[in-house]
Amino acid sequence: MINEYGLLNKYKNLDFKLTKAGEEFISFAELEKESETIKERERIEFEKLKVDLVLAKEMLKEYPKTKWFARIGFIIGVLLLLKELYMLICK
Number of domains comprising the chain: 1
3-state secondary structure of 26: coil
What integer pLDDT is reported at residue 30 of this predicted model? 73
Across 28-32, 37-41, 75-79, 81-85, least confident range: 28-32
Closest CA to 29 of 37, 17, 40, 41: 37
Whether 33 and 22 have beta carbons less than 8 Å apart is answered as no
To the question of pTM greater than 0.95 for the whole model, the response is no
Cα torsion at 67, 71, 77, 82 (round to 10°)?
170
Answer with the residue of higher pLDDT: 21 or 31: 31
Answer with the residue of higher pLDDT: 5 or 45: 45
Answer with the residue of higher pLDDT: 13 or 83: 83
Query: Domain residues for 44?
Result: 2-90
Which amino acid would we find at residue 38? I
